[in-house]
Structure 1
Amino acid sequence: MSAHNLRGFDLLSSVRHNKGTAFNHQEREALGLRGLLPPAVFGLDDHKRRALANIRRKDSDIERYVFMQSLMGRNQTLFYRLVIDHIEELMPIIYTPTVGQACREFAHIFRQPRGFYISPSDKGDIRTILNNWPEKDIRVVVITDGERILGLGDLGTNGMGIPIGKLALYTACAGIPPEQCLPVMLDVGTNNQALREDPLYLGTPIPRIRGEDYIQLVDEFVTAIQDAFPKALIQFEDFLTPNAYALLNTYRNQVLCFNDDIQGTAAVALAGVYASCKPAGKQFKDLKVMFLGAGSAATGIADLLKVALMAEGLSEPEALARLWFVDVSGLVVKGRTDLMSHNLPYAHAHTQMPFIEAIEDIKPDVLIGATGCPGTFNQSVIRKMCEHNARPVIFALSNPTSQAECTAEQAYAWSNGHVIFASGSPFAPVEYDGNRYQPGQGNNAYIFPGIGLGAIVAEAKLISDEMFLAAASTLAQCVTEEEVAAGSVYPKLTRIREVSLDIAVAVAKTAYAQALAQSEPPLNLRETIAQRMYDPHYE
């Protein structure tokens, strides 16, 4: 019998404790459920079969998303068991690429409140209203202000789909208990006129607040979270690049936090680059990497690659010389007056030139796209990379799938099957010239859940660059020879909980080694972490 005091409809309405027709006859008698349920008793496997059948008969992925969100809101045990056991089928539904459409339509598919909303009218009261949240042991907070949702731009409060989805992955992929997760929307208005004019829009229909008012609201939030939930990790998600860097630089050495777009994307990309070295026949320290796009994701990857190259023995100038950027104006070089501060370290003394000429001149081994602009890796780009590399490494990382720089099929066809390809959202296997390729998905879900789990167990004070290096190295080591042979530089999603456990162990070890942990190291770290992982089943 479950250790709670709920009975009758209150029990059936409890997302955490409800198990519907799985209550047996003894439980129904003891808990006031007789007559409230059909007479047949079913188990979790029966519930999974019924739910899967319902999902699969839906006509579209957005309807499948709505079904899964409704399931999350009435029976979290079944929701997470289903996602864990069918991760390859359902991760694209509850997160990328479907979450992009879900965010676009969020106000119109809204069914029930989920998460925590902060608006300018809450200024001065954030700590007080946090008391309204029913759970008191929050360990992970994911917050967005909705200004740069995936590659889709300013979606305002509709962006709440992102924190909800990210935290579902924290639970499914790394076993963070769902009651320890808090999705937060910082509603500071939107500059998306269509949303402001939408009569069903759920947010504050005003232009975005900027400047000191914005900074003060974020600072009050961070301070309030530290007081209300002192063991909580804060993950900043989908902020516009200047704000993303400003907030990360402000808080990274003060509180337990990170920015997934900058640091999580960096670690998963670095892991893919590490794993690509063997099939490409190259040493990591010898690589030249070119980025198309110079926003927070791309520069975050470069920043971590620089640290990784220096760990291989290169000086900082030598490491920077291996990293090149192309943006909408062409090659990022010294003398340009339109660069942001995070781009300046990568502005080389070189002639400015357009993208395709830059590939010809620099001859990069690895090409990474983080543009949000589909089609930017065209046939000429792929073939130019092939001129200089027997096995060119092409990462088209923009999300959702519709925004990818090229498709997997295009990359394999235009390179005659020679490319080592990865993308940010999933692509189906590709048949080309008698071979079957399984493109790797550089999904941040390989990194951030394990980072969070390791930090929680170690009770880390801060998240360091070394933790992301450890996570990237561990992820690369998880890729099997069979997976590389099939064309992937990432492990199968079916192994993601095992991978997250490996990463959590590496992150916790790093926290202890850097004296950033506030807990004592257990005798068996791996076993301790594994025992902490939420495993959904009916009590």
Structure 2
Amino acid sequence: MGSGYSLLRDPQYNKGLAFTQQERDSHYLRGLLPPAVVTQQLQEKKLMNSIRQYEVPLQKYIAMMELQERNQRLFYKLLIDNVEELLPVVYTPTVGEACQKYGSIFKRPQGLYISLNEKGKILEVLKNWPERNIQVIVVTDGERILGLGDLGCQGMGIPVGKLALYTALGGLRPSSCLPITIDVGTNNEKLLKDDFYIGLRQRRATGQEYADLLHEFMTAVKQNYGEKVLVQFEDFANHNAFELLAKYGTTHLGTASVVLAGVVAALKLIGGSLADHRFLFLGAGEAGTGIAELIALEISKQTKAPVEETRKKIWLVDSKGLIVSSRKESLQHFKKPWAHEHEPVKDLLSAVKALKPTVLIGSSGAGKTFTKEVIEAVTACNEKPLILALSNPTSQSECTAEEAYTWSEGRAIFASGSPFDPVEYNGKVYHSGQANNAYIFPGFGLGLIISGAIRVHDDMLLAASEALANQVSEENYAKGLTYPPLSNIRQISANIAANVAAKAYELGLATRLPRPENLLKHAESCMYTPAYRNYR
């Protein structure tokens, strides 16, 4: 910890006007600050006032990022205490726009940038990062940022935002989190011509060159931070994501677990067990097939039927229509398990009419695809259809909350990936849930860390979903909500962490021994809190 002038410029230790008179004396700060001494509460009040003055979400995002650069504890204090208001600012949907404009709004680099220029030197680059004890790395190559496509080096907004949530919502120490962007170029013409673009000005490297860089990266990470470091791949394009997952065995932690939890919770509102329902997906990429597989696993766990059987309750539609067995030859390998016996069906509407699903899930990345006809058709065969429009940001959502409630005449149970305001229909107010992966991944990460899990097992994802579904209260159900309010997120994360850690110990994948007596208390005690420290 520095003294005086440098202390005020170190976001990890700076407290601004909250330094006491005694601290100002002992750390050579006297005269460098105006005379007032204020509390963190008052600082928070002042900043929330000023952030609320901004009309444009991107300005709020910039204000939050500048605060993170200036005073880390205050940044987390704001985020934790105002999570419902600020989550959409530091994460989806605003983070998408921030990535598109990252080159123009970029002030100070956060995290590590590893480009093709660093080939052969990645271990040295990791050593340039000041923190030694890293527990979680979130990495992107910027090829498929949310529903916005290839943003190259400017995808850094995603790892930075995601790790801010690991800390605020999951209680991981900020110093143990490392955001990384791997820059192998971009195929986005607009960025290549943009004077303010901050990445390599070349088309994307592919094939061997790409694979070699990622292999060097993963090897250097394990060498520098040990085997237990948690590496989360974010927003890689499908063709690379599947190969990376097969090779490095990480998982799409958040999305699938959150969706499963929402579906399990929704059963209280729509009735029946998971196995009684028929699922239809629009979108058969990594998100869609990942969610489908987790639902099939949970049904298999509940009914003891083999997963090959339980997959038959789940159907997927891609750009060419329903995935059926006659298409098997031409399908990518990850779609094959979903090719069931059925005559070909050309589009979503015809699939809804033919299959009469009880649950409709959108993971297509394409907005406005749940049309009035589709929602009317799914409502015609269900008393209470469950409709999940998961694509982000808001502009890419398959339908809006208002459309879902209006077109289903108020009968749908609806949740979405991006937040929607409550909707009034026929004099009744409908609240929709947000299937936000921020419910799961911070607590999941904490569970892996407190147990020292050496790898992720599907049962740990199921344990996380069950823990989340159990947090939905009667009061939430009464409003038609299938997720608990985000304002309780730290408590939810602690519960998820305890459940995930318990599963890791049970499966023999935990390395932090002996196992703590009470995992929930242990999880809570490990969580970072952003209150100021007193300096001697």
Match of 1:33 among 13, 20, 29: 29
Does residue 49 in structure 1 map to residue 45 in structure 2?
yes
Mark the runs of 5 or more structure 1 residues left unpaired by the alignment: none
Distance 1:384 1:39 in 2: 67
1:223-260 per-residue CA deviation (whole Å, 9 max, x = no partner) reads 111111113100010011121111111111xxxx433x
Aligned to 1:534: 528
Does residue 243 in structure 1 map to residue 234 in structure 2?
no
Distance 1:531 1:364 in 2: 44
Aligned to 2:324: 333
Distance 1:250 1:303 in 2: 19
Letter paired with 1:530: E
Does residue 365 in structure 1 map to residue 362 in structure 2?
no
Give the conservation status (yes or no) of the 8 Å contact 2:300–2:310: yes
Letter paired with 1:474: A
1:269-304 per-residue CA deviation (whole Å, 9 max, x = no partner) reads 100110111110121111110000111100110111
1:359-389 per-residue CA deviation (whole Å, 9 max, x = no partner) reads 1111111000011111100111111011111
Aligned to 1:352: 344
Aligned to 1:443: 436
Shift of residue 339, structure 1, vs aligned partner? 2.0
Distance 1:189 1:167 in 2: 24
Match of 1:496 among 489, 505, 512: 489
Distance 1:324 1:528 in 2: 41
Q: Match of 1:504, SS?
A: helix
Give the conservation status (yes or no) of the 8 Å contact 1:150–1:238: yes
Give the conservation status (yes or no) of the 8 Å contact 2:293–2:311: no
Aligned to 1:128: 124
Aligned to 1:470: 463
Letter paired with 1:341: H
Match of 1:161 among 128, 142, 157: 157
Distance 1:513 1:117 in 2: 38
Match of 2:75 among 61, 76, 79: 79
Shift of residue 318, structure 1, vs aligned partner? 2.0
Give the conservation status (yes or no) of the 8 Å contact 1:234–1:258: no
Letter paired with 1:424: G
Does residue 289 in structure 1 map to residue 282 in structure 2?
no
* Identical counterparts, % of pairs: 48
Does residue 525 in structure 1 map to residue 515 in structure 2?
no
Shift of residue 124, structure 1, vs aligned partner? 1.1
Shift of residue 121, structure 1, vs aligned partner? 1.4
Distance 2:321 2:126 in 1: 46
- What's the TM-score, normalizing by structure 1? 0.97
Letter paired with 2:218: V
Match of 1:182 among 166, 178, 186: 178
Give the conservation status (yes or no) of the 8 Å contact 2:322–2:344: yes
Distance 2:478 2:100 in 1: 38
Match of 1:432 among 425, 428, 452: 425
Q: Match of 1:478, SS?
A: coil
- What's the TM-score, normalizing by structure 2? 0.97
Letter paired with 1:527: K
Aligned to 2:140: 144
Aligned to 1:320: 311
Does residue 213 in structure 1 map to residue 209 in structure 2?
yes
Letter paired with 2:272: K
Distance 2:495 2:399 in 1: 31
Distance 1:356 1:282 in 2: 25
Distance 2:134 2:167 in 1: 13
Aligned to 2:268: 278
Give the conservation status (yes or no) of the 8 Å contact 2:140–2:155: yes
Letter paired with 1:342: F
Q: Match of 2:240, SS?
A: helix
Give the conservation status (yes or no) of the 8 Å contact 2:390–2:417: yes
Distance 1:359 1:14 in 2: 57
Distance 2:21 2:396 in 1: 52
Give the conservation status (yes or no) of the 8 Å contact 2:324–2:339: yes
Q: Match of 2:483, SS?
A: coil
Distance 1:306 1:258 in 2: 16
Does residue 234 in structure 1 map to residue 234 in structure 2?
no
Distance 2:241 2:299 in 1: 24
Match of 2:258 among 264, 268, 283: 268
1:143-183 per-residue CA deviation (whole Å, 9 max, x = no partner) reads 00001100111111111000000000000101001011000
Aligned to 2:399: 406
Aligned to 2:500: 507
Shift of residue 508, structure 1, vs aligned partner? 0.4
Letter paired with 1:525: L
